[in-house]
Amino acid sequence: MKKKRKEYFMNLRNDVAFKIIFGTPAHAELLMRFLNSMFSGEKTITKVEFKNKEVLPPDKDGKRMVYDVYCTNQRNEYFILEMQNVYEPYFENRALLYALKGLTEQVKKGHNYYLDPVFAIFLTNFDFEHLKKGISHDFGLIDRNTREEFTNLLNMRFIPMSSVKKTWNDCRTSYDKILFLIKNIHKMDKNSDAYRSREYDDFFDAAELDNLAEEDFVAYSQSYAKMEETERAMEYMCSQSFSKGEAVGFAKGEFEGFRKTAIKLKDLGFDTATIADATGLTPEEINQL
C-alpha cells in the first residue's frame, strides 16, 4: 500500500482553513495582502474591519446567510470572500444574493440611499459551463449596448482554480503567487520553491499545521475529512457519467438524475451532509429517499 505523504500545511480550499487564513483578525494582514494584489492599481487597502459573517433574515421565514469572509476597508467598501469547492444548483443565484445583501444591509430606517460599493469575490474549484473556461470573470452593472458602467456599487468576481498558473515559476505577480499558494500550499514542504523564496513566510506560518491552536486543528481535521468524503462522492458521480453540464441541467429542474445518485451514495454509506454537498439536494430531501 502506498504510504500517504505527510502534509505540512493546510489545504486552503478547505472551508475552515480559508476562514482561518483570510477571515480572522489575527491574520488581517494576509487578507489585505491578497486584496491589494487583486486590486493592484485600483485601490490600496490599509485597514480591514471584520463584520459578523452570519446575516440573519428580517423574519422567521427568511434564510440566513453565512459568509466565509465579510469585512470593510478604511473607505467603508464592503468585501465578501467565498471559497466554493463544488458546483451546487443555483450557485449563481446564491452568489448574486450574497453580493446584494452587502448593499441592502446598509439601508436603515431614514436612510437616504447613499451606498458604499460591494465587492463579492468567489474562488471556485470548478468552471461554469456557460462561461469561458480557465479565466477569471469580473462582473458589474453595465449597459449591454454601450458598455458604459451604470454604477460601481455591485461588483462580482469569480476566480476558478483552473485559471491559476501551472508552476511557481510561471507566476509573475503577487496576485498570481497568492492564488498559486491557495491552490497548492498543502502539496508543498519546506524544500518547495515557494517556501524557499521567503516572499510569503507569513502565509506559510499561518498555514502550517503544527502552528494551529488545538481547537483550530480539530475543526480543520473534521472539515478536511468531510471535504475528502465529498470529493469521493463527486468522483463516484463522475464514474457514473454525470457531468457538470448535467449539474447545470439539474439546477434548471432535472431533479430525477441527482435523486437517483443520492440514493446510490446513501446505499454506499455516505452521510447526509456529504450527499447534500455533492448533489445539491437538501438534507430533508435526502432523508425522505
φ, ψ for residue 40, nearest 5 deg: -50, 125
Rg, the chain, Cα only? 20
User: Whose grid coordinates read 502565509?
Assistant: 203
Cell numbers at 80, concatenated: 465578501
pLDDT in tens, 230-263: 777 767 766 665 555 454 444 444 556 667 777 7
Nearest to 19 by CA among 64, 93, 82, 61: 82
The answer to whether 220 touches 47, Cβ cutoff 8 Å, is no
pLDDT in tens, 150-196: 999 999 999 999 999 999 999 999 999 999 999 999 999 999 999 99
**Residue 96 — very low, low, confident or very high, per pLDDT cuts 50/70/90?**
very high
Q: What is the pTM of this model?
A: 0.80
**Residue 53 — very low, low, confident or very high, per pLDDT cuts 50/70/90?**
confident
Q: How far is the C-alpha of 223 from the C-alpha of 229, rounded, in Å?
A: 10
Least confident of 28-37, 110-119, 152-161, 176-185: 110-119
Cell numbers at 75, concatenated: 473607505
Q: How far is the C-alpha of 150 from the C-alpha of 171, rounded, in Å?
A: 34
If one compares 45 and 266, the residue with the highest pLDDT of the two is: 45
Q: How far is the C-alpha of 281 from the C-alpha of 145, rounded, in Å?
A: 38
